Amino acid sequence: MNKKKIILIADGLLFITLIFGFSTLYSQKIANDYNTEITLLANDIVSFNSEVNLIGVQNTNDLKTALSNYQSLKEKNDFAKRLNDINYKLKYAKVVKKSVEMLGIDTTTANIENILKDSDKLLMHIQKSDSIDSEILIMQGSVNTIGQIETKMKEFIERNDKIKNDILAISVDKRLQEPLNYYVKALIFRGKYLEEIRQANISEYNYKIAVEQFGYYVNLVKMYNAIGYSDMFLEALDKANYYKEECKKYKDLWEIHEVEAYKAFTNYIIMMKIEIPKAEKSEKEEV
């Protein structure tokens, strides 16, 4: 082999080496570019999962807001699409691809779906509960008979208890458990308020009956005393004294129940952050 031929072979080998080296460097750059994009995506997934875990902690006293925030996060979960967009870029045709399983995207999606699996049911019950609040507000500002209040309070109590029990029957993700417990506690306060208003209303009714009977027997006492019917006088006097005590008993109960109703209602509106007037005894007509 002559010297010229050796030089040509050497040049050829050098050229091949350079071409191979360039190809290797280019392939490495493409792989690095792919890994960079995947790393950014993976970091976003980690941040997303952290936010998922924080929502329940940050909204322990607001079930509606917690559900709303989880729904917003669900709508932001575009990780599978972003991965597909990266994987189908022409420049990455020969790169070994990452899958949704490898990045935990499937777990992330299943996680948020599990949290929101019964969100429609919860929101439906919350909407029904909000309706009761609106009706209470309307009733507080209106004139109602004692009979109307009794009927409406019994209805509110039944509806409040049903909402509470229906919510408790829903098995929620652990991250929603605390805000759900808080919401149920608020419903218990509202139930207490409604029952105390009902009992105050009953006590008021009994007080008015006792006042009427007391007045009736006082008049009898005066009449029997005037005409000298001693036996009937004493009987009427006993009845008058009895209804006098009844008046005091029911007046005291009326006031006690109204105070307890105010306390329960105040706790409820504070817990639920409701901007409505303080509980007041609504003006009533006679039955």
CA–CA separation, 113 and 18 (whole Å): 53
Are the C-beta atoms of 112 and 136 separated by less than 8 Å? no
Report the pLDDT value the prediction gives residue 162, as an integer from 0 to 100: 97
Are the C-beta atoms of 105 and 45 separated by less than 8 Å? yes
pTM, to two decimals: 0.80
Q: Spell 200-230 as b/e; 16+ CB within 10 A means b.
A: bbbbbbbbbebbebbeebbebbeebeeeeee
pLDDT tens, N- to C-terminus, the chain (287 residues): 555 555 544 445 444 454 444 455 556 888 888 889 999 999 999 999 999 988 878 888 899 999 999 999 999 999 999 999 999 988 888 888 899 999 999 999 999 999 999 999 999 999 999 999 999 989 888 888 999 999 999 999 999 999 999 999 999 999 899 999 999 999 999 999 999 999 999 999 999 999 999 999 999 999 988 888 888 889 989 999 999 999 999 999 999 999 999 999 999 999 999 875 554 444 444 43
CA–CA separation, 80 and 108 (whole Å): 10
CA–CA separation, 214 and 271 (whole Å): 43
CA–CA separation, 130 and 268 (whole Å): 12
